[in-house]
Amino acid sequence: MVPPLTFDMKDANFTQRDAVAKFRALHESGCFVLPNPWNKGTAIYLHRLGFKALATTSAGFAFARGKTDGKVPRDEMLAHIREIVTTTPLPVNADFLNGYADEPESVAENVKLCIDTGVAGLSIEDNTGRTDAPLYEKNLAIERTRAARSAIDASGTRVVLTGRCEAWLVGDADPLRTALDRLVAYAEAGADCLYAPGIQAPDEIAQIVKAIAPKPVNLLISGFNHQLSFSQVADLGVRRISIGSGLALAAWGAFIRAACDIQTNGSFELLGEGAKSAELNELFR
C-alpha cells in the first residue's frame, strides 16, 4: 500500500527557490533516481512512493496526446510542465527538448518561459530534429547552452541546467567521441549537469563521468539498458538516473498486450493484472 501523502498544495508555502535548493543538494553527492511522470496522477503516485524529485518526459506526454515525440507545441508543453510542477512539492526537471528554437536568443527567451513554470531544472539538447543535420553544429550548440545559462542567471533562480548530447539517439558515427567532446564544452558553457541519452556500455559511462568531473552526469535507464542496476550505475560515478519515457512505455506495453489479447483471443485474463480501483481512489482522495 502506498504511504499517505502529507503534503497539501493549498497549505504549503513551498517556493521555486526551495525546490531548486533541494534539487541542487541532490546533485552534490551519491546517486538518485529521477522518474518521469506524464500526467498528474503518475506524478502524485511517484511522490507517494518516496522519490525525491521528478522529471517530465516529452515522449511520454506526446504519446498520451496522440502525437510523436517532439511534435507537442511549445505552449502546450509549458502548460504540461506547469501542471506537473504544481501537482507535488518535489523538484521538477523539465525535458525541454531543443528549447523550441534554433538560435541562441530564442532559446534564451523560451528558457525564461520554462523557468516561469516553477521548475527546479531543465534540459536543452543538441538534436535539431532534422535528418540532414541531426546535431546542431558544435559552436552553435555551445552558444545555445550559453544562452540558456544566461537566461537562468538573469532570472536569479539558480535553476539546474542540464546539457544533453544526443549523439547516440541520432545514430552518430562515433557517439562516444562526439559526446565526450560536446559534453565537456557544454559544461564549460555553463551546464550544471551533463547527459548523453542512449549510452549503454559501463566503460563508456565511466569515461563520460571522468571527463565531466566534478560536474554530475545523468544516465538514462530504459528498455535498451535496463539490465544495469542502481548500485552498478552508482559505482560508475553517475549522480542522477532518469527513466525518460520508460515508465510511460511500460504502461503502454501493458495496455497494448491486454487490448490485443481481447481483440485477438477474446480473452480478458490480462485485465486481472491491472491496478485496483479502490487503491487508486484512495490514492487520489
26-62 pLDDT tens trace: 999 999 999 999 999 999 999 999 999 999 999 999 9
Distance between CA 19 and CA 35 in Å, rounded?
A: 16
Contact between 19 and 120 (Cβ < 8 Å): yes
pLDDT band at 13 (very low <50, low <70, confident <90, very high): low
Do β-strands 32-34 and 217-220 pair in parallel, antiparallel, or remain unpaired? Answer: unpaired
Sign of CA dihedral 175, 176, 178, 182: positive
Which H or E run includes 218?
strand 217-220
Helix 175-188 vs helix 202-212: angle between axes, to the nearest 10 degrees? 20
Distance between CA 27 and CA 113 in Å, rounded?
A: 24
78: its cell numbers: 509549458
Give the per-residue pLDDT at 158.
98
Per-residue pLDDT tens digits for 155-195: 999 999 999 999 999 999 999 999 999 999 999 999 999 99
In the chain the domains, ranked by start, together with CATH numbers, are 17-244 (3.20.20.60), 246-285 (no CATH)
> Using alpha carbons only, what angle is made at residue 265 by residues 262 and 269, rounded to the nearest 5 degrees?
55
User: CA 181 from chain center: how many Å?
Assistant: 22
